[in-house]
């Protein structure tokens, strides 16, 4: 019995000693996090993309750009303000509110995978998945050059990789 009491006492002391060493504030960060700014903040810093960002916010799509801090979250094909103004004029719309299914048009500009500009030019894929369910951006290239996105001759003016994804600034509105 004395032997059992000694073992019990030793177990209680060991349990107390080991449990007092546990850091209750310890948290293991999920892998793949980045300190890069979220895409919506990078968009906000670019004055020539203000209409796109304003419409994304107004159509409750901002969550697709601010989700979490994971790396390489999305690719955004962000039309310039001039692209929006040209699109409205060419289609006789007096404001973006007149564009049928505007939210779907905007969703079509946000790609699920992060696609770099070099992937666009030299990749072997023929389409890019968007957050618009069931709709992909068709990609056509010839001799290492991007020819069209979704059948439209689109110029990528610049690509910004400062955020947790890539923002491709384009000169046209992509229509699903």
Alpha-carbon gap, residue 137 to 154, rounded angstroms: 12
Q: pTM above the 0.75 mark?
A: yes
In this prediction, residue 114 carries a pLDDT of 86
Which structural domains are found in the chain, ordered by start? 38-170 (2.30.180.10)
Specify the 3-state DSSP secondary structure of 31: coil
Are 83 and 173 within 8 A, CB to CB?
yes
The residues, ordered by sequence, that sit 6+ positions from 30 with a Cβ below 8 Å of its Cβ are none
Task: Per-residue pLDDT tens, the chain, 176 aa: give them.
Answer: 666 666 666 665 655 555 555 444 444 444 556 677 788 888 999 999 999 999 999 999 988 886 555 555 789 999 999 999 999 999 999 999 999 999 999 999 999 888 888 888 888 888 999 988 788 999 998 877 788 899 999 999 999 988 888 999 999 999 98
The residues, ordered by sequence, that sit 6+ positions from 76 with a Cβ below 8 Å of its Cβ are 39, 43, 65, 109, 110, 111, 165, 166, 167, 168
What is the bridge-based pairing of β-strands 165-170 and 136-142?
unpaired
Are 96 and 84 within 8 A, CB to CB?
yes
In this prediction, residue 118 carries a pLDDT of 87
């Amino acid at each position: 019995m004395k032997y059992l009491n000694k073992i019990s006492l030793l177990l209680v002391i060991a349990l107390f000693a080991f449990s007092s060493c546990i850091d209750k504030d310890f948290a293991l960060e999920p892998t793949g996090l980045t300190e890069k700014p979220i895409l919506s903040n990078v968009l906000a810093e670019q004055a020539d993309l203000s209409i796109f960002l304003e419409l994304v916010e107004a159509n409750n799509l901002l969550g697709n750009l601010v989700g979490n801090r994971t790396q390489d979250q999305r690719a955004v094909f962000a039309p310039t303000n001039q692209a929006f103004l040209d699109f409205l004029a060419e289609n006789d719309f007096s404001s973006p509110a007149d564009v049928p299914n505007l939210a779907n048009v905007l969703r079509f500009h946000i790609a699920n995978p992060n696609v770099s500009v070099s992937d666009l030019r030299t990749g072997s894929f023929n389409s890019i998945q968007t957050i618009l369910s069931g709709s992909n951006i068709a990609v056509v290239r010839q001799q290492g050059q991007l020819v069209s996105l979704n059948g439209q001759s689109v110029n990528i003016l610049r690509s910004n990789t400062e955020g947790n994804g890539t923002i491709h600034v384009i000169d046209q509105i992509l229509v699903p």
